[in-house]
Structure 1
Amino acid sequence: MPVLFQEIDFEVLCHATEDEDKVIQAVKNLIPVEFHSSIRINKAKLEGHYHNPIIKFNIILEGETQVRRTLLYIFKRLNREERRDLTEKFESYLDETGSFYLRVNKNMSYKGVVALKFDTGDIIRLKTKIRKEKPIPKTEIIKEYVALISETTT
């Protein structure tokens, strides 16, 4: 059974000291330009621990082709070591439903560079959902993602 991608959700926080447009641009830099007009932006106002204003953006892109090409776009721009590590440890990036999670450095993304980030600092968190009419074995899901990463090394 093929794995069909449903959506990719980029979640990013914008602190009071940051420019909202630059934060959104950091996310757009992870999405191929031809899909920018297809994104949906949800905005929620939050309050930080010290009552500081925080804005949470969820920037969502839907559709099999758009999600697959966006993942390729991101994977292709990772450095070789990050792609290798991602491939070797892929199962740790999936949850029990088959959703894939990745953290990307927000500041580097704004500069046009894709770099993974493993702490909870200034990140763009992405979550990819797959469409499942029937349960798909986790091994098949992993195989599909690893095949996508492999496409970027050729």
Structure 2
Amino acid sequence: MLSLELSTFVHATEDEERVLQAVSNVLPERMRGSLEVYLSKNVVLGYHGNAITVMKFFIDEEVEAQEAFEHIVRRMEESDFNYFLDSLEDRFEHGRIYLRVDKQEAYLGNIRISEGDDVIRVTALLKPHLRKSEAVSRYLLSLRSKKTTQ
């Protein structure tokens, strides 16, 4: 894993601290206390003129990016992981994996895939040897097998 980016929107009706908690819950425990190190924020105006904060968390240190991505994959429920694998062709492009994690579920401590809009978007930039979907599938399966042996 070369890098990992998590991004989400904080709408005017949402509590920013709760959204930060949701993102924090997606990451390994040792990284949760230092979210600000990875954070950039930008405020934009929505269609109706409402303020929307765009939060991006960029992890460009390979070891930390790998650890965070492994954590996400290992904590997925089996049904979500199987859906992830089944839809990999749609989620993998130009050496990147795209995933959407349900923001409300993340706040509760769960990692669930969502196709909706109220999500934490995860973009993983893979190493060059992981550029074909078959190799990526094997890689993801190897991460899950580590889960059962830990």
TM-score band by shorter chain is 0.7 to 0.9
Question: In the TM superposition, what whole-angstrom CA distance separates every residue of 1:88-110 from its partner, at most 9, and x where no partner exists?
Answer: 33222111x11001111101111
Quick one: distance in 2 between partners of 1:50 and 1:31?
33
Q: Which residue is 1:67 aligned to? A: 65
Quick one: distance in 2 between partners of 1:126 and 1:135?
17
SS at match of 2:2: strand
> Structure 2 residue aligned with 1:40, among 38, 41, 61?
38
Structure 2 residue 13 is the aligned partner of structure 1 residue 17: yes
> Structure 1 residue aligned with 2:22, among 4, 22, 26?
26
Q: Please, which runs of 5 or more residues in structure 1 have no aligned partner?
A: none
TM-score by length of 2: 0.86
Quick one: distance in 2 between partners of 1:145 and 1:46?
35
Structure 1 residues 42-121: aligned runs within 5 Å: 42-95=40-93, 97-120=94-117
TM-score by length of 1: 0.84
TM-fit CA distance, 1:30: 0.6
Quick one: distance in 1 between partners of 2:112 and 2:132?
29
Give the aligned CA root-mean-square deviation in angstroms.
2.1
Contact kept, 8 Å, 1:76 with 1:153, in 2: the verdict is no
Contact kept, 8 Å, 1:16 with 1:52, in 2: the verdict is yes
Quick one: distance in 2 between partners of 1:135 and 1:112?
29
Flag the 1:107–1:137 CA change in 2: closer, same or farther, 3 A.
closer
Q: Please, which runs of 5 or more residues in structure 2 have no aligned partner?
A: none
**How much identity, in percent, do the aligned residues show?**
24
Structure 1 residues 132-143: aligned runs within 5 Å: 132=128, 136-143=131-138
Aligned residue pairs: how many?
Answer: 147
Quick one: distance in 2 between partners of 1:15 and 1:85?
28
Structure with the higher helix share, 1 or 2: 2
Displaced runs of 4 or more, over 6 A: none
